[in-house]
Amino acid sequence: VKRNPGEKEFIQAVDEVLESLGPVITRHPEMLEASIIERICEPERQIIFRVPWVDDTGKVQINRGFRVEFNSALGPYKGGLRFHPSVYLGIIKFLGFEQIFKNSLTGMPIGGGKGGSDFNPAGRSDGEVMRFCQSFMTELYRHIGEYTDVPAGDIGVGGREIGYLFGQYKRITNRYESGVLTGKGLTWGGSLVRTEATGYGTVMFTQDMLASRNDGLEGKTVSVSGSGNVAIYATELAQRLGANVVTASDSSGFVHDPKGIDLEMLKQIKNVERGRISTYVERRGGSAKFVPAGKGSIWEIPADVALPCATQNELHGRDAKALLGNGVIAVAEGANMPTTGEATRLFQDGDVLFAPGKAANAGGVATSALEMQQNASRDSWTFDYTYDRLREIMRGIHDTCAENAEEYGLAGNYVAGANISGFIKVADAMLAQGVI
Ligand code: NDP
């Protein structure tokens, strides 16, 4: 806390990981001797920079850019860029720290990093977003590369932004280095399934947790928060597997649609029109209801399965109590750290299957690594092949978490299983690579 003043999300993320590691350290005293814990909590490098750009009225705007290169024991730094007004160093460090263990869990050769800016793309024109992205990349380019650090999207950074960032990287470096960014468009080095991967992966993990209790998603009522990339594709796969998804949200409020979310309508409003969630209810009519932010919680809607897919700390203790009161059986984090520590403990004490984000939402970065593989071999795979690889990776993550939790006497605890599995691999690599 003293070393990282004011970085509350980072401290929360570190606490949650370290809480699980006692049994590992007891079994491996060599990790303690080599100060692995202290080293893993300190980023290898953090870059903070000015991002000046000119808005449509001709006014000069200044934002702050970040890239935290956290750990490269397993491969080049890898992790998304977030553009959101709430971004500051503590958010980027929490995301970068989580990313180390998530990337390790995927089994792919990627280290952990994260970046972004306090730039708010909401309400900005395409031209403004482009000029911002070009200015951002004009500093970032010198720190990234296929073998160094490979950014991708996150909140506020989708296909449009990755396009502008890639274009500027290519222009400055005079290199068509496809592997420098992931989440690219399909005609210029992107991978099929990348767009869907995080949301799909979260639902696959949920399927595997339910299967461990001989259950499935068919006929289940599911509540999903958010209406961005992760939420939309979590909804899509859950519906395809026979679940009834009854909610969606954004920062202005949530909708409850008991007949089931009309996904085509939601995609049109959010992805094409970049509109607000209340438009969904205006257009859908019937029994669909809009509840403005602050007037009620999305988690009060009865559901068998809850998938928080919006942002950090969006599901609190009182929300967990509401879900438990309505008989929830599984919760999987599509977003990063959406559930507070208190809510997580309530779910675990209530015998709810609970999947932490670093395991449940790892499908996105895993498919980014598949995109890097395709770029390296100048190849592009079919949708079905890539989907099957994702399915296999998610099953692998589920089984590794379950096995390690059991191995360390914490059977059924996916939080401990994910932290332990992710940590051991990184710690072993750090030990092998010496004091660096
Ligand atoms: P998007 O920008 O596509 O969507 C984010 C959604 O969450 C929007 O509906 C947004 O609403 C809502 N939201 C964001 N901040 C807040 C807030 N403070 N309060 C209420 N709602 C909010 O982002 P993604 O779907 O890509 O990311 C969602 C989560 O998933 C994040 O935690 C991200 O780190 C995580 N994640 C994403 C991956 C990916 O591949 N994209 C990979 C792994 C994790 P509004 O439009 O009103 O802001």
State whether the Cα torsion 169-174-180-186 is positive or negative.
Answer: positive
CA 22 – ligand 1 centroid, Å: 32
Residues linked to residue 154 through DSSP beta bridges, in sequence order:
157
C-alpha gyration radius of the chain: 21
- The predicted-structure confidence for 240-279, as pLDDT tens digits, reads as follows 999 999 999 999 999 999 999 999 999 999 999 999 999 9
Two tokens, residue 234: 């979590």
CA 157 – ligand 1 centroid, Å: 10
**Residue of the CA atom closest to atom 46 of ligand 1:** 250
Residue 419 in contact with ligand 1 by CB distance below 6 A: no
Our mutation pick for probing the ligand 1 site, out of 100, 250, 367, counting the most ligand atoms within 8 A of Cβ, is: 250
Architecture of the structural domain at 8-179: 3-Layer(aba) Sandwich (3.40)
Residue 364 in contact with ligand 1 by CB distance below 6 A: yes
Residue 155 in contact with ligand 1 by CB distance below 6 A: yes
Residue 229 in contact with ligand 1 by CB distance below 6 A: yes
Our mutation pick for probing the ligand 1 site, out of 229, 254, 298, 370, counting the most ligand atoms within 8 A of Cβ, is: 229
CA 336 – ligand 1 centroid, Å: 9
Residue 362 CA: nearest ligand 1 atom is: 43
Residue 230 in contact with ligand 1 by CB distance below 6 A: yes
Q: Give me the tens of pLDDT residue by residue for the chain, a chain 436 residues long.
A: 889 999 999 999 999 999 999 999 999 999 999 999 999 999 999 999 999 999 999 999 999 999 999 999 999 999 999 999 999 999 999 999 999 999 999 999 999 999 999 999 999 999 999 999 999 999 999 999 999 999 999 999 999 999 999 999 999 999 999 999 999 999 999 999 999 999 999 999 999 999 999 999 999 999 999 999 999 999 999 999 999 999 999 999 999 999 999 999 999 999 999 999 999 999 999 999 999 999 999 999 999 999 999 999 999 999 999 999 999 999 999 999 999 999 999 999 999 999 999 999 999 999 999 999 999 999 999 999 999 999 999 999 999 999 999 999 999 999 999 999 999 999 999 999 999 8
Pairing of strands 112-117, 305-308: unpaired
> Cα separation of 167 and 163, whole Å?
6
State whether the Cα torsion 372-270-63-188 is positive or negative.
Answer: positive
ipTM for the assembly: 0.98
Residues linked to residue 308 through DSSP beta bridges, in sequence order:
225
Which residues make up the CATH 3.40.50.10860 domain(s) of the chain?
Answer: 8-179
102 is in an annotated binding site: yes
DSSP H or E stretch at residue 429: helix 414-432
Is there a contact between 202 and 233 (Cβ–Cβ < 8 Å)?
A: no
Residue 202 in contact with ligand 1 by CB distance below 6 A: no
Percent of the chain with pLDDT over 90: 99
Which residues make up the CATH 3.40.50.720 domain(s) of the chain?
Answer: 200-360
**Residue of the CA atom closest to atom 43 of ligand 1:** 361
| Dihedral of the alpha carbons of 381, 82, 102, 248, in degrees to the nearest 10 | -80
- The predicted-structure confidence for 376-435, as pLDDT tens digits, reads as follows 999 999 999 999 999 999 999 999 999 999 999 999 999 999 999 999 999 999 999 999
153 is in an annotated binding site: yes
Angle at 215 between CA 359 and CA 341, to 5 degrees: 40
CA 311 – ligand 1 centroid, Å: 5
**If DSSP codes are grouped into helix, strand and coil, which group holds residue 78?**
strand
Is there a catalytic annotation at residue 8?
no
229 is in an annotated binding site: yes
> Cα separation of 363 and 391, whole Å?
9
Our mutation pick for probing the ligand 1 site, out of 119, 161, 274, 311, counting the most ligand atoms within 8 A of Cβ, is: 311
Residue in 114, 220, 270, 358 annotated catalytic: 114
Residue 232 in contact with ligand 1 by CB distance below 6 A: no
Domain 200-360 sits in CATH at 3.40.50.720
- The predicted-structure confidence for 17-28, as pLDDT tens digits, reads as follows 999 999 999 999
Residue 371 in contact with ligand 1 by CB distance below 6 A: no
